[in-house]
Amino acid sequence: MRAFVLALVLAASAPTPAQKAKELSSKKAWDELYLAFSSGDANTVPKEQRAAVSGALATGCEALLAEDMVMASALGERAVVFEETAPALHCVATAARRTDQRAAAEAALRKGLQRFPKDGSFPLELGKLLLEEQDSVGAVAALEQVPPRSKEGAEAKKLLQQARQSKQQESDARSEAARIERQLGGATRLPTEAPPPVPLSGSTPRYEQEPVTELTVGNRNAGGKMVKAPTVGFESSVDSAGKRVRANRRFVIKYNNNSRDFRQRANYEGRVVEVLEEAYYFARDTLGQARENPVEVVLYSADEFRDELGAGAAAMAAGLYSANAIRINNAVELTKEAKATLVHEYIHAVVDDFCGGGNRDNDTIPLWLNEGLAEYLEWKYLKQEGPTRNLWAHMRQAQVEQDVPSLHFLVNNAPITSSNPMVGYGVSALAVRELVRREGYRRILRLIEDLCENRGTGMNRGKYFEKALRTHYGLTMDELDKELAKQIGEPG
């Protein structure tokens, strides 16, 4: 009886999460505060206490902005988990901007604008960010949402004039570029001349009617190729191998004519551009990260893919990303499957770029995480929240046969090498889905960033990843494997 009473007394005297958060915040014990609330979702704290916990974490974020951006960002992220308050979202956005994570900053500001439409600071800061990125259309849309009578109204009015002027200039430039392209038959060349190759570093372009930007395709320090691409729209030409090329600041698209006339080429290129731009914005808006450096996209017919990359690759791969280029098999017609493959491979290009380029991600990130992220986001692009019914059936049959590859196996073995590649990819994507469910995309990016920054630790990939997984998620690959086995075995 005494033990029971003592237990009740101790339980009654234990601080609540809100009390603990306030106490640690008052002591400015930011590391302890973060550790106390660094894992789990909002349900780990009673609903009526979440605002207090979020407030304490947001206070820590603001306090550390000037001295420890990493911890400030971490505290801000956790504050948003418990409650999406205006201070928390502002702090996350500020930390992201100062560490040049613009996509994350934009996501936080858009969330703030959605949740607090009367708060003029969110659309004002979003407008400033989009102006810096030369997105005048987006900036105008954001700044127009600043309430005129708010304290931010006067500043927003001045910036709105600037944004509208830039928007008009961009519109004029696009119209002029379209006029020139129509006049020159769809390429920057005289009608009677053979099309020139894409200008390489050190060469002088023959026609300068359209504003251009100098881009590096590949690693600049490892002989990366320089191309000139228009700041507005795309530039068309033909390279030395006879492939048609369209380039802008994000993509350098290559494909063979395959007997297409001008009208067919224009239609095909237009659809390719549309899909790639969709992939860019999908990655930015979903993952919170898009590729900063341009990437080659080579579109093959089935025969071309086989001839260049081999019969084995042609039979097994719908596409691949290698040597800073996305290579798509059988892309003569842009089917739904080809579009999804483009998105899948673009995610690989984003991760490679995020990891520093040069395919360093292949040396540092477990193959199941790399492939699983691309596969899971391909599901999302196709409006799937999980495996198809057919894939579930294959995974459950593999579980019965004890043939589901473990995550340990998939650290250094690509899913395509599994006895059933479909199951290998499915398990990898399910693992990523579970990590996203627990902590969101930002935590996935922080995990990848950690892995890429510590590639020189001397630990092998699997050993360091186990450590990083515990740090970021508080679990092991064995525990994640058990969770996946449970999901695969569930009826439905």
Confidence (pLDDT) at 477: 93
User: Of 12-16, 306-310, 327-331, 403-407, which one has max mean pLDDT?
Assistant: 403-407
Q: Are 52 and 18 in contact (CB under 8 A)?
A: yes
* Token pair listed for 396: 């459950």
Confidence (pLDDT) at 122: 93
Lowest-confidence pick of 25-29, 285-289, 296-300: 296-300
SS (H, E, C) 23-44: HHHHCCCHHHHHHHCCCCCHHH
Mean pLDDT of 347-353: 91
Mean pLDDT of 52-61: 93
Confidence (pLDDT) at 300: 83
Q: Are 427 and 482 in contact (CB under 8 A)?
A: no
Rounded to the nearest integer, the mean pLDDT of the chain is 78
Confidence (pLDDT) at 367: 93
* Token pair listed for 197: 């190759």
Whether residue 338 has pLDDT greater than 90: no
Whether residue 206 has pLDDT greater than 50: no
Our CA dihedral for 22, 28, 32, 33, rounded to 10 degrees, sits at: 40
Mean pLDDT of 430-437: 95
Mean pLDDT of 238-263: 72
User: Of 65-74, 214-223, 242-251, 263-272, which one has max mean pLDDT?
Assistant: 65-74
Percent of the chain with pLDDT over 70: 78
Our CA dihedral for 481, 453, 351, 374, rounded to 10 degrees, sits at: 0
Percent of the chain with pLDDT over 90: 31
**424: confidence class by pLDDT, cuts 50, 70, 90:** very high
Using CB atoms within 10 Å of the CB of residue 194, give its burial: 0 to 12 exposed, 13 to 18 middle, 19+ buried.
Answer: exposed
Amino acid at 316: M
Alpha helices in 355-476 (DSSP H): 361-364, 367-381, 389-400, 409-412, 421-453, 461-473
Q: What is the pLDDT of residues 362-400, one digit of tens each?
A: 778 999 999 999 999 999 999 998 999 989 999 999 999
Mean pLDDT of 13-29: 88
Confidence (pLDDT) at 170: 62
Q: Are 228 and 262 in contact (CB under 8 A)?
A: no
Lowest-confidence pick of 103-107, 153-157, 339-343: 103-107
Which residue in this structure is represented by tokens 């089935």? Answer: 302
Angle of helix 421-453 versus helix 69-82 axis, rounded to 10 = 130
Confidence (pLDDT) at 377: 95
What's the pTM? 0.53
Mean pLDDT of 238-252: 75
Whether residue 228 has pLDDT greater than 50: no
Q: Is the backbone of residue 258 left (phi > 0), alpha (psi -120 to 50) or beta?
A: left
pLDDT top residue among 178 and 113: 113
> How far is the C-alpha of 276 from the C-alpha of 282, rounded, in Å?
10
Confidence (pLDDT) at 395: 93
Q: Are 326 and 296 in contact (CB under 8 A)?
A: yes
Whether residue 92 has pLDDT greater than 50: yes
Confidence (pLDDT) at 2: 55
Which residue in this structure is represented by tokens 């040597």? Answer: 323
Sign of the CA dihedral running 466, 467, 472, 474: positive
Whether residue 214 has pLDDT greater than 80: no
> How far is the C-alpha of 116 from the C-alpha of 109, rounded, in Å?
10
Q: Give strand pairing partners of 300.
A: none
Confidence (pLDDT) at 196: 31
Q: What is the pairing mode between strands 212-217 and 325-328?
A: unpaired
Confidence (pLDDT) at 248: 74
Q: Are 353 and 292 in contact (CB under 8 A)?
A: yes
**320: confidence class by pLDDT, cuts 50, 70, 90:** confident
Sign of the CA dihedral running 400, 403, 407, 408: positive
Confidence (pLDDT) at 315: 74
Whether residue 6 has pLDDT greater than 50: no
Q: What is the pairing mode between strands 235-238 and 244-247?
A: antiparallel
Confidence (pLDDT) at 207: 27
Q: Vertex 237, ends 236 and 239: CA angle to 5°?
A: 140
CB under 8 A, 24+ apart: contacts of 271-279: 271/334, 272/246, 272/297, 272/299, 272/334, 273/234, 273/246, 275/334, 275/339, 275/342, 276/250, 276/251, 276/342, 276/346, 277/250, 278/339, 278/343, 279/342, 279/343, 279/346
Three-state SS for 288?
A: coil
Q: What is the pLDDT of residues 131-190, one digit of tens each?
A: 887 777 778 888 999 998 889 999 989 998 888 887 777 666 555 544 444 443 333 222
pLDDT top residue among 49 and 170: 49
Confidence (pLDDT) at 191: 30
Mean pLDDT of 27-48: 87
**Cβ-based neighbour number of residue 403 at 10 Å:** 13
Which of 313, 309, 320 has its CA nearest to residue 344? 320
Amino acid at 394: H
Using CB atoms within 10 Å of the CB of residue 383, give its burial: 0 to 12 exposed, 13 to 18 middle, 19+ buried.
Answer: exposed
Q: Are 247 and 270 in contact (CB under 8 A)?
A: no
**259: confidence class by pLDDT, cuts 50, 70, 90:** low
Confidence (pLDDT) at 155: 92
Lowest-confidence pick of 6-20, 81-95, 463-477: 6-20
Confidence (pLDDT) at 233: 46
